[in-house]
Structure 1
């Protein structure tokens, strides 16, 4: 090597948290596009630029990697709806903004939403348990919002209303995949129109 050539610089090691974030981003996209069953750890490792043993060192198994993706979706969805709730003024705006945040989440995080809605292709019990925990999280969050709007409702009624709203949001989000002209705002308006009579006592 001539004196004019610089010695090879050692590659900087990526911090673990940053590497995990990178892996989850790739895995979420691959799982969403190809489906859980059709995805291999070899494929994800190759896209990330890691060996498969190193990928297993981070998440243990393909199931563990999928669960980590779902847990990130769960955090991000709660963050989105909580942020909307914190900024709202008045009960009607509170509910509207939180519904809108859900529909925007399905738009802005299409790969995460694809993981959440493809539960029938995920037969593993622990995966389905994690999916259900996401619904329960949002149900409890929604019940808390409704309690601020309708103080006359008991806990059972609040939970029943919240379950209905979560189910309606999921179905509308799926419907919008076939009706791309329906914006997140329009979907929110449709749902508010449906719920307004039941919530009139608090609005």
Structure 2
């Protein structure tokens, strides 16, 4: 029976099976409680083979984080096309983000929740993908401002701050949406656009909120 479970197949396919199993187990039980025996069993391989391919539980977890991060950023980048108007570009990216997190809830749990709570090595991996997304959204907002009828150049600090706020809101909304039965990616994306774009749209038009005099 053991020989049947570990039949020969391309290394990439075998690793994909292991990572799929690890993501599912870690998302549902947490990294600390995740058992390498259970991961191997779910992947249909022996535990020694998991160690042979991925060295250690820490390395396996790191590989899971990196795979989910790459897939998420790839989905968002692919959705945002430069030919679209500014609001449509933002909508496309936001919808792609929520579509991915809705279709891969275990992957999102590993990337956003588990990676941030089990030590600096894993938190650094999660921080790296957030930094990449922040840079991407910062450029998106800056381009939208320059292309607006008022052709504004927002200060770099403000543009990056807007990107950080938008990403933080998206992450929190994804966590919340995935706990709501029947919630959809379109609903989540629409909620975020209603929350964010109205304010961004005013900003692109030169209208800014300022602290009331005497406050």
Kindly indicate whether the alpha-carbon contact (under 8 Å) linking 2:116 and 2:122 is maintained by their aligned counterparts in 1. no
Question: 2:98 matched to 1:96?
Answer: no
**TM-score normalised according to structure 2 size:** 0.82
Structure 2 residue runs without a partner (length 5+): 1-5, 147-152, 206-215
What does residue 167 of structure 2 align with? 166
Structure 1 residue runs without a partner (length 5+): 1-10
1:1-203 matches, cutoff 5 A: 13-86=8-81, 89-119=84-114, 122-151=117-146, 152-195=153-196, 196-202=198-204
RMSD: 2.1
How many residues are aligned here?
193
Distance 1:23-1:128 versus aligned 2 partners, 3 A rule:
same
Kindly indicate whether the alpha-carbon contact (under 8 Å) linking 1:35 and 1:121 is maintained by their aligned counterparts in 2. no
Distance 1:200-1:178 versus aligned 2 partners, 3 A rule:
same
What does residue 3 of structure 1 align with? none
Separation in structure 2 between the aligned mates of residue 179 and residue 40 of structure 1, nearest angstrom: 28
Q: After the TM superposition, which segments of 4 or more aligned residues of structure 1 sit over 4 Å from their partners? A: none
Instruction: Name the SS of the counterpart of 1:39 in structure 2.
Output: coil
Kindly indicate whether the alpha-carbon contact (under 8 Å) linking 1:116 and 1:131 is maintained by their aligned counterparts in 2. yes
Kindly indicate whether the alpha-carbon contact (under 8 Å) linking 1:36 and 1:121 is maintained by their aligned counterparts in 2. no
Cα deviations by residue, 1:26-71 (Å, 9 ceiling, x for unpaired): 1111111111111111111222232222211211111110110110
Separation in structure 2 between the aligned mates of residue 192 and residue 99 of structure 1, nearest angstrom: 8
Separation in structure 2 between the aligned mates of residue 147 and residue 139 of structure 1, nearest angstrom: 12
Tell me by how many angstroms 1:85 deviates: 0.2
Cα deviations by residue, 1:133-154 (Å, 9 ceiling, x for unpaired): 1211111111121121013112
